[in-house]
Amino acid sequence: MGAREKIAYLRGLIEGQNIAENAGMSKFHEALLSALEAIMEELDDVASDQDDLREYVEDLEDEVASFADGIHERDDRDSDDENSEDIYDEEEEYEPVTCPECGKDFFYQPDAYDDDEDLLCPHCGKPFKQ
């Protein structure tokens, strides 16, 4: 028998004893039953909230597992790629240059530019030929 059924059974016992002649006891029993019913309603609300949280946590677990699987798959593809080590082993070469407009020095990667392409100074924003 659950809590709700026990409260209903207790109410039946109290009502069946005809305690009407003792008004003080009648008020006490009614207040007691009312408090028990209020507690039961709050427990129902807590149980409902707990079910909602359980579903939410399960959804989060699924999303995290899916995300982790995606990361592991990407790592596996990267480690299977024969050229992946070469990508990280190549050193990018940078050369120093001085901007003719503002006179400030900066580095650039010559391989990233065509021969006739202008460089753009990161300090003053002016283009110039190297």
Residue pLDDT, tens place only, 75-111: 666 665 555 555 544 567 888 999 999 999 999 888 8
Which pLDDT tens digit goes with each residue over 39-78?
999 999 999 999 999 999 999 999 999 888 888 777 666 6
Please tell me whether residues 72 and 98 are part of one structural domain: no
User: In this structure, what are the phi and psi dihedrals at residue 29, rounded to the nearest 5 degrees?
Assistant: -60, -40
Helices assigned H by DSSP within 81-110? 84-89
Shared-domain flag, residues 24 and 80: yes
Single residue among 52, 71, 86 that ends a domain in this structure: 86
Q: Residue 114 has what pLDDT?
A: 83
CB 25 within 8 A of CB 19: yes
Indicate whether 7 and 30 sit together in one domain: yes
Question: Rounded mean pLDDT of the chain?
Answer: 84
Residues 6+ apart with CB under 8 A from 79: none
DSSP 8-class letter at 30: H
In 3D space, the residue among 61, 7, 16 whose CA is nearest the CA of residue 36 turns out to be 7
For residues 56 and 99, state if they share a domain: no
Both 40 and 70 in one domain: the answer is: yes
* pTM of structure: 0.43
Same domain, residue pair 80 and 111: no
74 and 116 together in one domain: no
Domain containing 110 equals 92-128
Give me the number of domains the chain comprises: 2
- β-bridge pairing 119-120 and 127-128: antiparallel
* Burial annotation 41-54 (CB, 10 A radius, 16+ → b, else e): eeeeeeeeeeeeee
Domain shared by 18 and 79, yes or no = yes
**pLDDT at residue 38 in the model:** 94
- Say whether both 64 and 109 belong to one domain: no
> What is the pLDDT, as a whole number, of residue 13?
86
Name the nearest CA neighbour of 33 among 13, 10, 55, 3.
Answer: 10
